Structure 1
């Protein structure tokens, strides 16, 4: 078991990182090729290739139980889990399978966990969302990343909403299908998701709205900028960096 496993678009360590498998997440193997396994995540159905050496097998019974259970998530930026003399570092947003307040379970083994954890079955709120999102400030940008050591824009929104009990798809163009449209920037509320398009009109960026028309998003780092009807204005660069396409409200 590892804290983080890269999932790639092809069977090569040089291939593009499409996302990351985070600790405690469950998946099924859908294809094999030499020393690589193509997996599909139980959370959002995302597919990618992992090195077979980084695979942790679970029983079919465990996998089915995992899929039908709500799991707590780690809230500390970095924490440790322990089993005997082995300790594994895990980051914020990691899954805590079958957490009982002091330990988690993978297959039939129990691992001690003494860090903070989210509730396993919660309804997201604006206050909770803002508090969770604040932990991600200054995380560096990484294409395909979902961790404290590197995260992309949709990985950021997926992690924040996931910790708060709402499962979003992995990519921005998939996430935009969720929620109800907010027609004017002036009507945004904390927790709304703003989406941005490229020159071809494709959704390529997403961020979480804060109060006062501020937006938190991953662009170089997880940062806070200003949003108006044109898009995101970066005060440091003194220019617009993203063109606004649509705003959606998830917390109805």
Structure 2
């Protein structure tokens, strides 16, 4: 088994082994993974934090040995806490990191990160989820994105929860298999998740419930809309944009 770590700000994770293939997610700086198939230019990997799989360009990751991999995953994770942070490399060059980058791995590269956040009991309070979510407000929507420079709906919810020490799966349909079902919106609390389906009944969207029947979600951009028993109501468009399927309590 081979192992890897992401040494750059973020790397695209693609559906197929080709630059033109769909980006299904991103690998952030310091994230660890197993290499489950290796080719000349591409590798299929499985991310440690959520088990998500895809193809990464071999030029965009660094192979590490089993000892270092297991040592790094046994360490307490720390994440970049600001939307944009700066990392200083051992050769004194700089790179930008986005919120959620796994900066606890920086020591492996002999890097120094200006802003980071270790998880402690104060950080995992459910009330902190909304404050974290608001850091992404107005971030543009990007299919497969996992940063404030571009994020999709489930990448947004996954990052918000990860920064509060709770690990969601990657896709909305997978996240919907987690947690406890709530029967009514009135039972929900800020930080709970609402899931939405399409005409075929497939769950395709997710957002974070806020106070006073509002929801923050990634749709065009990370935005705040109204939530009711029918779904998400966009006041600008004067219509419902998503049909509610289920509400789930994760924490």
TM-score between both structures, scaled by the size of structure 2: 0.93
For the residues of structure 1 that align with 2:93 and 2:46, how far apart are their CA atoms?
Answer: 28
For the residues of structure 2 that align with 1:135 and 1:180, how far apart are their CA atoms?
Answer: 26
Aligned residues: 243
Contact 2:172/2:195 (<8 A) preserved: yes
1:211 partner SS: coil
Contact 2:225/2:235 (<8 A) preserved: yes
* Aligned counterpart, 1:131: 131
Higher mean displacement: 208-217 or 30-39: 30-39
Contact 1:70/1:121 (<8 A) preserved: no
> Counterparts in 2 of 1:28-177, with a 5 A limit?
28-83=34-89, 84-97=91-104, 104-106=106-108, 109-115=109-115, 117-122=116-121, 124-177=124-177
For the residues of structure 2 that align with 1:197 and 1:131, how far apart are their CA atoms?
Answer: 27
For the residues of structure 2 that align with 1:220 and 1:163, how far apart are their CA atoms?
Answer: 23
2:64 partner SS: coil
Q: Which structure 2 segments of 5+ residues have no match?
A: 1-6
Answering whether residue 193 of structure 2 is matched by residue 193 of structure 1, we say yes
- Over the residues paired in the alignment, what is the CA RMSD in angstroms? 1.3
* Aligned counterpart, 2:4: none
Q: CA deviation at 1:111?
A: 1.2
* Aligned counterpart, 1:25: 31
Q: CA deviation at 1:68?
A: 2.5
1:126 partner SS: coil
For the residues of structure 2 that align with 1:69 and 1:154, how far apart are their CA atoms?
Answer: 26
For the residues of structure 2 that align with 1:43 and 1:171, how far apart are their CA atoms?
Answer: 13
For the residues of structure 2 that align with 1:118 and 1:208, how far apart are their CA atoms?
Answer: 22
Q: CA deviation at 1:113?
A: 1.5
Q: Which structure 1 segments of 5+ residues have no match?
A: 99-103
- The C-alpha deviation readout for 1:196-230, integer Å capped at 9, x for no partner, is 00111111100000001100000000000011000
TM-score between both structures, scaled by the size of structure 1: 0.93
